[in-house]
Amino acid sequence: MPEKQTLEIRWHGRGGQGIVTAAKMPAEVIIKQNGHALASQEYGPERSGAPIKCYTTISNTEIKMYSQPEHPDIVIVVDSTLLKTEPILEGTNENAIIIVNSSHEPENIARAISGGKRKVWTVDATAIALQELGKNFPNTTLLGALIRATELVSLENILEKVAEGLGKKNAALLEGNLQAVRRGYNEARFYQGSEDAVPSTPAPPQKAWYEIEEAGTLPAGTAKKYSTGDWRITHPVLNEQCVHCMLCWLFCPDNAIVVKNEKVIGFDPEHCKGCGICAEVCPPKIRAIAMEEGGEPCEK
């Protein structure tokens, strides 16, 4: 464990990726070993694919602060698409460690987020998860990388906790997860950061109370500007069976079914968040929409 008395971790991920569980797991291990830890979550639009943040605090003395850490020592980015949209460096200093789920070299990520200044670990947790679990649940792999980067607890202890959490219900799933933790630990790569790199730009200022629209009354149609397409971790695929009954169009919460000449022709990649409602409501005898893994742009 580093010399610091308290270690604060912030997790950036998307609803449905299991990051809440990932944030809790190290806390549970530490508490079980009679240490002090706290795991919390920032609540917002709790929908599948929406950006969410979780926190883990670990300390060698009693934790008295329940508010969310403002200056985390470690930031874990579970979904690399968030590097563009979320302020992942917010509140961190040069010593903070950034762990990113990415197939890229850590140096490239450091360049992209900080001009090369920051300390970055990367691990291709999605690829590992797909190989070991057959699903994009990168959290256990990232847990392995976190243990490697911090030596918070031993690898054995975290493996035990993972085993306990998953129980004996599904031996294959358990072995897959244990293997994912081990591979995350072993395959994580580090970049030290460079002193003379350009400092990161501070967050832009926000509107004061008197500059905000009264009562938060906004112009209509703001949902259009809000790119829920970023949230997608699965995507719909349309096949020839479609009879153009328009049920999917009626139910899609983001108006992402594209219709031309009274025919469904595809999905709006800007707004389709991959919720799968369209596939669910498509009549069982037709099944013209299938949901597939991955947030690839869906076809128009």
Partner 1 sequence: MRKVIAATGNQAIAIALRQIEPDVMCAYPITPSTQIMETYAQYIADGIVKTELRLVESEHSAMSACIGASAAGARVVTASSSQGIALMHEILYIASGLRLPIVMAVANRALSAPINIHGDHSDTMGSRDAGWIQLYAKNAQEAYDTIIQAIRIAEGARLPVMVCFDGFTISHSVQRIEILEDAEVKDFIGVYKPEHSLLDIKRSKTFGTFALPNFYAEIKYQQRDAMRKALYIIKDIDTEFLNRFGTSYGLFETYMLEDAEIATVVIGSTAGTLKYATDEMRKEGIRAGMLRIRAFRPFPAKDITDTLKHLKAIMVLDRTDSPGTDGPLYQDICSALIDMPIHPSISNFMYGLGGRELALEKAKRIYRDLADATRKGIKVEHGYDVRTEGVGR
- Cα–Cα distance, 295 to 94 (Å, whole number): 32
When asked if residue 203 is in the footprint of ligand SF4 (CB under 6 A), the reply is no
Looking at the DSSP bridge assignments, the partners of residue 121 are 99, 190
AA letter at 90: E
The site string for ligand SF4 over 242-261 (x = CB under 6 A, - otherwise) reads xxxxxxx---x-x-xx----
Rounded to the nearest whole angstrom, what is the least distance from the CB of residue 72 to partner 1 in the complex? 17
Rounded to a whole number, what is the distance in angstroms from the first to the last CA of the chain?
50
When asked if residue 237 is in the footprint of ligand SF4 (CB under 6 A), the reply is no
When asked if residue 233 is in the footprint of ligand SF4 (CB under 6 A), the reply is no
Compute the chain's Rg from CA coordinates. 21
Among 34, 208, 260, 285, binds partner 1 (CB under 8 A): 208
On the 0-12 / 13-18 / 19+ scale of CB atoms within 10 A, 14 is: buried
Rounded to the nearest whole angstrom, what is the least distance from the CB of residue 216 to partner 1 in the complex? 4
Rounded to the nearest whole angstrom, what is the least distance from the CB of residue 43 to partner 1 in the complex? 9
For residues 212 and 246, which CB has a smaller minimum distance to ligand SF4 in the complex?
246
Rounded to the nearest whole angstrom, what is the least distance from the CB of residue 29 to partner 1 in the complex? 29
When asked if residue 1 is in the footprint of ligand SF4 (CB under 6 A), the reply is no
Closest by alpha carbon to 81, among 229, 189, 201, 215?
A: 229
Rounded to the nearest whole angstrom, what is the least distance from the CB of residue 273 to partner 1 in the complex? 16
Show Cβ contacts of residue 249 under 8 Å, excluding neighbours closer than 6 positions. Answer: 257, 259, 264
Closest by alpha carbon to 113, among 149, 77, 70, 69?
A: 77
Which range of residues in 24-32, 115-123, 143-151, 238-246 is near ligand SF4 by CB under 6 A?
238-246
Size of the site for ligand SF4 (CB under 6 A): 26
Size of the site for partner 1 (CB under 8 A): 17
Burial string for 29-59 (b: 16+ CB within 10 Å, else e) reads: bbeeeebbbbbbbeeeeeebbbbbbbbbbbb
The gap from C-alpha 96 to its chain's centroid, in whole angstroms, comes to 19
Q: Choosing among partner 1, ligand SF4, none, which partner's interface includes residue 44 (Cβ < 5 to 8 Å by kind)?
A: partner 1
Half-sphere exposure of 141 (CA within 13 A, CB side): 33
For residues 174 and 291, which CB has a smaller minimum distance to ligand SF4 in the complex?
291
The site string for partner 1 over 41-80 (x = CB under 8 A, - otherwise) reads ---xx-----------------------------------
Q: Choosing among ligand SF4, partner 1, none, which partner's interface includes residue 277 (Cβ < 5 to 8 Å by kind)?
A: ligand SF4
AA letter at 219: P
- Cα–Cα distance, 212 to 105 (Å, whole number): 41
**What is the 8-class DSSP label of residue 144?**
H
Q: Choosing among ligand SF4, partner 1, none, which partner's interface includes residue 66 (Cβ < 5 to 8 Å by kind)?
A: none
Q: Which residues bind ligand SF4 (CB under 6 A)?
A: 236, 242-248, 252, 254, 256-257, 264, 267, 272-278, 281-282, 286, 288-289
Residues forming contacts to partner 1 in the complex (CB under 8 A) are 44-45, 206-210, 212, 214-222
